[in-house]
Amino acid sequence: MIAMLTGQLVSKGTEQIILEVNGGVGYRVLIPLSTFYSLPDDGMVKLHIHTHVREEALLLYGFLTIDERSLFILLLSVAGVGPKLALNILSHASSGDLHQAIAGGDVKRLSTLPGIGKKSAERLVLELKEKILKLDLSCDPLLRERQLVLAPAQNHAEDALSALLNLGYKEVQARKALASLTIAPETPLEEILKAALKSLMR
């Protein structure tokens, strides 16, 4: 089972990256937005991996910190929470925020996460409250940010819209959030996504 990968970043998207390991083997790794925000455009990258085996596929989920991987695995233990929803949760809440919300029984905060209603939030608290208190989140919950040199802003808006749709938002909501933003031509995609998500969480 793959637990960690270190390699050259070949391509980077909001949902997945391609990592070239050992000079020629390319691994497709699914990632949360928190990892996407912190990855460079290129260069060597080290990710902590969770290998998810299904009958028809073997999927790799990558995280910059062990904390995020631990929370991802913990979320998968909850009935009704699959890898896609677990990634979605980690894309909208830092390790520290998620730990605090579950440990503190903050159903209201958890209910604001896409794909999580009140009942799901209550189930997360019920099933994970004791388990999450045992986790040692040693890393800083605020991941570092990197500025990227990307394509023109109009293309960013389309990329941001696609990312928001993939995260579970309806197209009308996503377009409305993006339309409310003032996007300069040099604005990085990460900044657009962060601003749009902030608007959607209000």
- One digit per residue, pLDDT tens: the chain, 202 residues? 788 999 999 999 989 999 999 878 999 999 999 899 888 888 899 999 999 887 778 899 999 888 899 999 999 999 889 999 999 999 888 888 888 889 888 899 899 888 888 899 999 999 998 888 777 665 434 333 322 233 344 456 777 877 887 777 877 788 888 878 877 766 777 888 888 888 887 6
Helix ranges (DSSP H) in 39-148: 66-76, 83-92, 95-103, 107-111, 118-133
- Do 45 and 78 fall into the same domain? no
Q: Which residues pair with 50 in a beta bridge?
A: 61
CB atoms within 10 A of CB 184: 9
Domain total of the chain: 3
- Do 78 and 30 fall into the same domain? no
Residue 53 covered by a domain: yes
- Do 161 and 193 fall into the same domain? yes
Which pLDDT tens digit goes with each residue over 26-54? 999 999 998 998 888 888 999 999 998 87
Residue 148 covered by a domain: no
CB distance 187 to 195 below 8 Å? no
CATH code for the domain of 55: 2.40.50.140
Token pair for residue 55? 């009958």
